[in-house]
Amino acid sequence: MVVKLVKISAMKSNFPCRRSAQKNLFEASCSRVAVGVAASILALSFFIPDAVAQRGGEKPGDVRAVEPRTITARGALLENERSLVALFENAAPSVAYITTENLVRQGFFGEQVGVSQGAGSGFVWDSAGHVVTNFHVVRGAQKVLVQLDSGKKAIGAEVIGTAPEYDLAVVKLREVPANLKPLPLGSSRDLKIGQMVIAIGNPFGLSRTMTTGIVSALDRHLPTTEYAEIAGAIQTDAAINPGNSGGPLIDSAGRLIGVNTAIRSSSGSSAGVGFSIPVDLVNRIVPQLIARGRAASPGIGIVAINPFIVSQNGIRGVVIDSIAPRTPAAESGLVGYNRRTQSLGDVIVGVNGRTVETLSTFVAELDRVGIDNTAELSIERDGKSRKVRVKVIDMQRPR
């Protein structure tokens, strides 16, 4: 069995073909049903008089009155049910149904242009009309529509900031409703395994769907791009399916604690293993996307050797290839690969006591440390180990 990590934006739409196929099936079914019903009526006409005669002498044509059953009254909802109902009613207006359109070129020379549609979820970040979702929901979108309340028209939106390495994006509504309601913000730092969580989103295009579960595990590493991953991801067994991408994970107090982004599944549908980006990370990245359109890129000023080559040679850790001048790595005395002697330099095997085996894990740990903070690196070279303290900087900031 092949188990894979699946990003959970909805599949591309092909509704016109489906409607046509359903219509033909419906018409064919109707013709067969009509013949069957006519035959059944003809057959029953021979037996009805005898059957009626056996029911207490009722005459043909007599009709008995049959009343609907009496509804059994129920008591009040259970306390847990009342809490879930109230939570949904408070949170659902802040959950967005996001649809996108991309232009796709087809044909041998790309001379034909088609439209590819996608869908996902999101949530209201603030009263200014900013809506947060996953980067993979809006990636490459030429058109973005956001529907906030079921039955109301969708609002056009513009992508104003993306962070592929965190799988986060922010879109801005072109028309901001007067009653826009941001989700209350929680914290992922104090989450406990076993506490109840709620996911609200639009799985398979079914808007405003709520599922419940628990925090199954914490501090998972979630790959986002080739050499990047999110540290501290939340694992949950709340049902998360294609179309839930970008939707909120909420605690029992109705606060945002994560952004649903991926599932581990062999079928592409929920198997009880879903992952959410922790809200503490979201709360750090989203303001940057709103202000600058991009997120800071934590680093120390090294260029690492390709992880594939490192893995092939049986080395665990980040092998330094070269070091940029006037960076914390240069100032701390780190040494890169020596091409003249073809000897390894420093290999980073840990950050602040946490083991680092790959480049993506190293990047995630630097992100955990944070820009302008100091990290303690565990270094190995020539069979010897040492500790080096290095400041983490934004590599995109001019130096």
Catalytic positions, please? Answer: 136, 167, 245
Q: Could you tell me which residues come within 8 angstroms of residue 352 by beta carbon, excluding any fewer than 6 positions away?
A: 365, 368, 369, 375, 376
CB 168 within 8 Å of CB 233: no
DSSP state, residue 149: S
Between CA 339 and CA 341 the distance in angstroms is 6
With H, G, I as helix, E, B as strand and everything else as coil, classify residue 50. helix
Q: Could you tell me which residues come within 8 angstroms of residue 261 by beta carbon, excluding any fewer than 6 positions away?
A: 7, 8, 134, 136, 167, 222, 245, 246, 275, 276, 277
Between CA 100 and CA 105 the distance in angstroms is 16
Q: How crowded is the C-beta side of 340, counted as CA atoms within 13 Å?
A: 0
Choose among 237, 255, 215: nearest CA to 94: 255
10 Å CB burial of residue 62 (0-12, 13-18, 19+) is exposed
H/E element, 105:
strand 95-106
Between CA 95 and CA 248 the distance in angstroms is 7
- Angle of CA points 103, 166, 232, to nearest 5°: 145
Between CA 338 and CA 345 the distance in angstroms is 7
Between CA 118 and CA 134 the distance in angstroms is 13
- From residue 343, give the alpha-carbon distance in Å to each of 85, 192, 200, 271, 303: 64, 46, 53, 47, 16
Q: Could you tell me which residues come within 8 angstroms of residue 344 by beta carbon, excluding any fewer than 6 positions away?
A: 319, 337, 338, 381
- Written as one letter, the residue type at 152 is K
